[in-house]
Structure 1
Amino acid sequence: MTAPVPLTLGYGDLHPFAKVQLQDHESVRQLLRTLLDPLQPFFSPAKARVRVPGGTGVRFDQTAAEVEGICRPLWGLAFLLAGGGSYANTNSWIEGIKAGTDPESPEYWGNPRDNDQRMVEMCPLGVAFAIAPQFWQSLSEKEKGNVEQWLGNSINTKEMPNTNWLWFRVFANLGLKLNNGKYSEERLQQDIKHLEGFYRGGGWSNDGPEGIHQMDYYSSSFAIQFLQLIYAKLAGAEDPERAKEFKDRARLLALDLVHYFDDEGRAIPFGRSLIYRFGVVSFWGALAYADVELPAPLSWGMVKGIVLRHFRWWQSQPDIWSSSGTLTIGYSYPNMYMAESYNSPGSPYWACVAFICLAVPPSHPFWTSEETPLPKSLPKVKAIKQPKHIISSLGSHYFLLSSGQACGYPMKGTHAKYGAFAYSSAFGYSVSPGHFTLGQYALASQLGFSDDCGEFWKARRLSEYSALEEREGLPVLVSIWKPFPDVKVRTILIPPTEDTPNWHLRIHRIEAGRDVMTADGSFAIANTRALDGRHLDPYDAKISEGTFPRYLNNYAARTQDGYSSGSQGAFAVSKGAVGIRALEQNSQRSATLVEADANSNVMESRTVIPTLEHTIPKGQTVSYMSAIYAKPAGSAVSKTEYLSGWDSPPEVPKWVFTEIAN
């Protein structure tokens, strides 16, 4: 048998993924095949493992990492086959499942232990058995027994994290149940009952029990709501009451989640596991798969548009691939700084959950409807109670304000992934590549504090208090947090208004029990000239590009032309415009451009962050009133309009002065 020839991407080559003209069911099938094909050379001899190129380590063993490599693409393959599609290399997965679950095979996947990564990979395997008959039917009786023992039954008595992971055991058992295999009905029901305790209302489930506030894409597309809808489809006849409840929740969630996607097809990056990339869109295909009746004003043409525009945006991101054509760890480009300790080279293929739309029949309105844009009747500013988000699409900028969320366990970059003030579909968020000086902390949309003259910085991670409140009919987010035990911060986040659609406000009341330096950052933006990719020059209105004040790189002397007054502010213009100004009277803050370390931002690899800086002496209480400007580039926005609102910042509402005085 001839060995598969690896795909090789050279200088300027486009991945086949980028060449598919997306318009219908068949074109999305072809899109998936361009993801699966490059994996063929990386299957092990018995096909039980896939060693996705990368070579980086992960918190679990190498075998489990290679089990990810075969099982995660199975999401897409199973959906393809369930919808009547075909794939030439399906047998690689069938043979791999046989060998991987055979304890006598040298490529046996291994017996799961407590809290084992193998538990996660049982979910796509269980779903594949449930929806694509050829997987189960291809097994001999002995092989079925091996699968029964490894899938579900091996973990029914094991400890699992008290998170979305419990859904994975549900589907391990359900996949066996639907094929009349050996499984545990008692465990299946116990797990679902326990998972019900994660529900918080309004369609939203928490990724964990009471006491944890974590509602990211695991609450919708990566796991919980996505899997609830698959359960409703597969178990609806036997469990109609629960299936109806899950569909009702999805209808509620849809009216919130639609605000997380912009007109260009981008999702707002928020939270962990963003290496799953287009996996964030799976919820919308799951609605169709589970035959959910859409709530007004949504239509199937709109839902189809969300999915296809999102895929098209990823088609326009050429740097997400390895030279072998496989997905990399990262977001818009390979990026280990944003990665979590559980991200192996095979992990990004959880993105294949997005292809659940392929399991939807071509006759469904999802496919037969004409693709349409987002509904104009959606509110431009919406407060979402459960995740404590306020989302705005004013000024053609889709972003969210956030307060109160935090990861329930130690995680790299948790202050950036959950604790930042704002997250943007155009400007993303930034993580810290290092922990020495401000540039390495890359405090985009964060307020940082340093008590050692700027070497180490602390930003908001946990809030002692956080709430979605209202002031004069406008939603605001209020939080109280402490970067140090003797430094107390009260922050109020105020969304844009129609009068100043590209501005939002941050109000900080700071009680300093020690000397602290502060740095209040705007969004990060690409620090590259359109002409040649070099760093931005001083702003030139003739080409609508550059910075104010002058950008000083980390090797440059700290000359005065690199600073301006806080009231003048700082801005950067490249792929749109971002900036920040101090609105407090007689502001003592200065404005500058912070050169963020390379690869700190999830969207752009080279960025700069307009920032307001100050030092607060011990014992003082000060108030900051920061106005943050952001206007993304777009097909409908002229470059000459990028700074059109910069000279007209919003007025600070009168109630703010009363509130911060108390």
Structure 2
Amino acid sequence: LLPADDRALSPHTGYTRAHWEAAADGMLHAALRYATPGQALIDLPGPPSRSGVRSDGLEGFARTFLLAAFRTAGASGKDQHGILERYTAGIARGTLTPGRGDAESWPVIGHHGAQGQPMVESASVALGLRLTAPWTWEALPPDAQDRTEEWLRGALRHQPAPNNWYLFPLTVAGFLEAVGRGDAETARAIERGLALLEGWYQGQGWYSDGDGRSFDHYNGWALHMYPLLHAHLAGDGELLDRLGPRLHTFLEGFSLLFDADGAPIHHGRSLTYRFAAVASVALGALTGHTPLASGATRRVLSGALRHFLDRGALTEDGVLSLGWYGPHAATLQRYSGPGSPYWASKGFLALLLPPDHPVWTATEEAAPAEGPDRALALPAAGFLVQ
């Protein structure tokens, strides 16, 4: 249940940080009801993806762990429901015997293709551990830490898809370096990902998702998010100075692609990730690379979250459905499984902004799309925004 609307602080959406926290808590409690006994997999209801039920269970675990990480890291580790303990236990169990056909072992990370999906999920596991290391990673016994590192290194030793997937090994490597386990292999993964990113940059804040002209929400929730969040967490000023202005420029146009009713533009693939579309908006505020005032930032963030919650994105038992509002098969990709929608967790990156941040304390302002009337050409991505 969400708190009552606060129309004084948030005259447009009624949402405050308390609404975000309550939404995150509700989503986590609903998903965790589907955890296996050892907590290693979260087997959400629905038809399996082409990657199989074991991979789908890992996906449910990893993507909700990312949500738990944003929620608890943003609360300075306060975890009154003991959720991180469950995920820590799940990591220890899932990495005990990877690839074994028992009830809880995680699948091993393979090359892009039939065995590739665990590489995607390794990034959420690594980022979740990086954000919550004092309460998760440091709580793991040394042998469990070693096994987790070995499982994660599969992402560094196998071939990603030729697109944003190269940022998954980068994210894994960034975590390993952050906990003192970096080496030539991790350095190479980071260097490779950043080099490819340069080749994909098309100007005006837009990256193509790999070679060619592939422009959609992946630009914000992957191509900006992973490397810039890595730079922020690592305190890498040089990388922040290089990538941050691109995010600032991107948000000048992208912020116009949210309607007055909060909806992000319905464009591209993986749309079942829904309010993950605001991850880059929150990242701009977190890193200081945004053209938006704090009140306008929260207007876009909360507008998108409320847009989907008000329109049935959660089933009656509180689980994110495979679709756009409610279930909608035409929205999906072949790789979509029951846990896939939980990449919507990326939208909760906003919770990394502390409670006293102006994004949470300023009065909401109108969304950029609400006026004045204008037309903006974004030839780098092939958009004309009116």
Higher Cα Rg, which structure? 1
Give the aligned partner of residue 11 of structure 2.
none
Q: Is residue 80 of structure 2 the alignment partner of residue 80 of structure 1? A: no
Give the distance between the partners of 1:127 and 1:196, measured in 2 at CA: 22
The gaps in structure 2 that reach 5 residues or longer are 7-13
Report the TM-score when normalising by structure 1: 0.53
Residues 148 and 182, structure 1, Cα contact 8 Å, conserved in 2: no
Q: Is residue 117 of structure 2 the alignment partner of residue 117 of structure 1? A: yes
Give the aligned partner of residue 584 of structure 1.
none
Please state whether the residue corresponding to 1:383 is helix, strand or coil.
Answer: strand
Alignment counterpart, residue 93 of structure 1, candidates 81, 87, 93: 87
The structure-2 alpha-carbon separation of the partners of 1:247 and 1:379, relative to structure 1 and needing over 3 Å to count, comes to: farther
The structure-2 alpha-carbon separation of the partners of 1:40 and 1:329, relative to structure 1 and needing over 3 Å to count, comes to: same
Give the aligned partner of residue 385 of structure 1.
379
Letter in 1 for 2:40: A
Deviation at 1:177, TM superposition (A): 1.0
Counting only pairs closer than 5 Å after superposition, residues 526-537 of structure 1 correspond to structure 2 as: none
Report the TM-score when normalising by structure 2: 0.90
Greater helix content: 2
Give the distance between the partners of 1:162 and 1:87, measured in 2 at CA: 41
Counting only pairs closer than 5 Å after superposition, residues 413-432 of structure 1 correspond to structure 2 as: none
Please state whether the residue corresponding to 1:91 is helix, strand or coil.
Answer: helix
Counting only pairs closer than 5 Å after superposition, residues 66-465 of structure 1 correspond to structure 2 as: 66-84=57-75, 85-88=78-81, 89-103=83-97, 106=102, 107-115=104-112, 116-133=116-133, 134-151=135-152, 153-182=153-182, 184-209=186-211, 212-220=212-220, 222-237=221-236, 240-292=237-289, 294-295=290-291, 298-318=292-312, 320-375=313-368, 379-392=373-386
Q: Deviations over 1:484-522 (max 9, x none)?
A: xxxxxxxxxxxxxxxxxxxxxxxxxxxxxxxxxxxxxxx
Give the aligned partner of residue 533 of structure 1.
none
Give the distance between the partners of 1:350 and 1:18, measured in 2 at CA: 24
Give the aligned partner of residue 10 of structure 2.
none
Give the aligned partner of residue 576 of structure 1.
none
Residues 278 and 311, structure 1, Cα contact 8 Å, conserved in 2: yes
Residues 129 and 179, structure 1, Cα contact 8 Å, conserved in 2: no
Give the distance between the partners of 1:157 and 1:70, measured in 2 at CA: 22
Deviation at 1:367, TM superposition (A): 1.6
Residues 69 and 132, structure 2, Cα contact 8 Å, conserved in 1: yes
The gaps in structure 1 that reach 5 residues or longer are 1-15, 393-662
Deviation at 1:182, TM superposition (A): 4.9
Letter in 2 for 1:359: L
Q: Is residue 49 of structure 2 the alignment partner of residue 52 of structure 1? A: no
Please state whether the residue corresponding to 1:72 is helix, strand or coil.
Answer: helix
Give the distance between the partners of 2:377 and 2:260, measured in 1 at CA: 20
Q: Is residue 31 of structure 2 the alignment partner of residue 39 of structure 1? A: yes
Q: Deviations over 1:52-83 (max 9, x none)?
A: 111x1322122111100111012211111111
Letter in 1 for 2:93: A
Seq. identity, %: 25
Deviation at 1:268, TM superposition (A): 1.3
Give the distance between the partners of 1:361 and 1:42, measured in 2 at CA: 30
Give the distance between the partners of 2:49 and 2:137, measured in 1 at CA: 31
Give the distance between the partners of 1:20 and 1:63, measured in 2 at CA: 40
Counting only pairs closer than 5 Å after superposition, residues 459-498 of structure 1 correspond to structure 2 as: none
Count of residues paired in the alignment: 366
Greater strand content: 1
Q: Deviations over 1:186-215 (max 9, x none)?
A: 222122212221111111100002xx1111
The structure-2 alpha-carbon separation of the partners of 1:50 and 1:194, relative to structure 1 and needing over 3 Å to count, comes to: same
Deviation at 1:17, TM superposition (A): 5.9
Give the distance between the partners of 2:287 and 2:372, measured in 1 at CA: 24
Q: Deviations over 1:565-623 (max 9, x none)?
A: xxxxxxxxxxxxxxxxxxxxxxxxxxxxxxxxxxxxxxxxxxxxxxxxxxxxxxxxxxx
Residues 232 and 247, structure 1, Cα contact 8 Å, conserved in 2: no
Over the residues paired in the alignment, what is the CA RMSD in angstroms?
1.9
Q: Which has the higher contact order (CA 8 A, sep 6+)?
A: 2
Give the distance between the partners of 1:18 and 1:35, measured in 2 at CA: 15
Deviation at 1:121, TM superposition (A): 0.5
Deviation at 1:378, TM superposition (A): 5.1
Residues 112 and 118, structure 1, Cα contact 8 Å, conserved in 2: yes
Letter in 1 for 2:279: S
Residues 282 and 355, structure 1, Cα contact 8 Å, conserved in 2: yes
Letter in 1 for 2:23: L
Give the distance between the partners of 1:358 and 1:189, measured in 2 at CA: 29
Give the aligned partner of residue 17 of structure 2.
25
Deviation at 1:334, TM superposition (A): 0.4
Give the distance between the partners of 1:170 and 1:87, measured in 2 at CA: 32
Residues 171 and 227, structure 2, Cα contact 8 Å, conserved in 1: no
